[in-house]
Amino acid sequence: MTYRVGYIVGSLSQRSINRKLAKALTKIAPHDLELVEIPIGDLPLYNHDFDADYPEVAKQLKQDIETSDAILVDTPEYNRSIPGALKNAIDWASRPWGTNSFNGKPAAVIGASGGSISTAVAQQQLKSILLFSNAAVLGQPEAYIQFAEGLITDDGEVINETTAEFLALFLNAFATHIKRNLGS
């Protein structure tokens, strides 16, 4: 069985190191995970006034999450937190009340940064938000990738063998987490 994993890149930049990381993950993923991007760049700012009539782009976001077997969130760290665009997407997907698209969904968090603690603080906040949204969040292994120029090529090839092995281990743990949570 193949599981559809919707992935969200928290950065809106097309040149983002987290977008490179996501591309690498699609290449490293085990055969039973199909990673498909869920775009968030065109979402307007969430406002509960839209709850009665969601814009099409927000309806599509919710549908993409709901039709995914699991969700992988790849976040940068901005000012020791998650990017506003990512929080905005989570707000759209978890509302209106009673229609939370993350409810019960297996999820995992990863991120890359040039700093020595990478995205550790942002990931902890993101996990808290996803847990509040009732996602079944993978606890271990944690994946804080310290990004250096040349670590991942523009084509998504991971140059450092140790990093490639760790990313494969992370994705295999996520696959096990998905199967356990979906009862497969």
Task: Tell the burial category of 183 from Cβ atoms under 10 Å away from its Cβ (0-12, 13-18, 19+).
Answer: exposed
**Residue 5 pLDDT class (50, 70, 90 cuts):** very high
What is the distance between the alpha carbons of residues 162 and 168, in angstroms, rounded to a whole number? 10
Report in angstroms the alpha-carbon separations of 122 from 18, 70, 79, 125, 129: 13, 20, 9, 5, 11
H or E element at residue 164: helix 161-182
The mean pLDDT value for 46-66 works out to: 97
16 neighbors 86 (Cβ within 8 angstroms): no
- Each residue of 31-49: pLDDT tens digit? 999 999 999 999 999 999 9
What CATH number does residue 121 fall under? 3.40.50.360
112 neighbors 160 (Cβ within 8 angstroms): no
Crossing angle of helices 84-93 and 56-66, rounded to 10° = 80
**Residue 89 pLDDT class (50, 70, 90 cuts):** very high
115, 114, 142: which is closest to 126 by C-alpha? 142
106, 98, 151, 161: which is closest to 131 by C-alpha? 106
Report DSSP letters for 3-34, one per residue. Answer: EEEEEEES---TT-HHHHHHHHHHHHS-TTEE
pLDDT averaged over every residue in the chain? 96
46 neighbors 91 (Cβ within 8 angstroms): yes
**Residue 7 pLDDT class (50, 70, 90 cuts):** very high
pLDDT at 101: 98
pTM above 0.85, yes or no: yes
**Residue 130 pLDDT class (50, 70, 90 cuts):** very high
Q: Is the pLDDT of residue 116 over 90?
A: no
Our count of domains for the chain comes to 1
Q: Is the pLDDT of residue 184 over 80?
A: no
The mean pLDDT value for 130-159 works out to: 96
**Residue 163 pLDDT class (50, 70, 90 cuts):** very high
Domain housing 176: 3-183
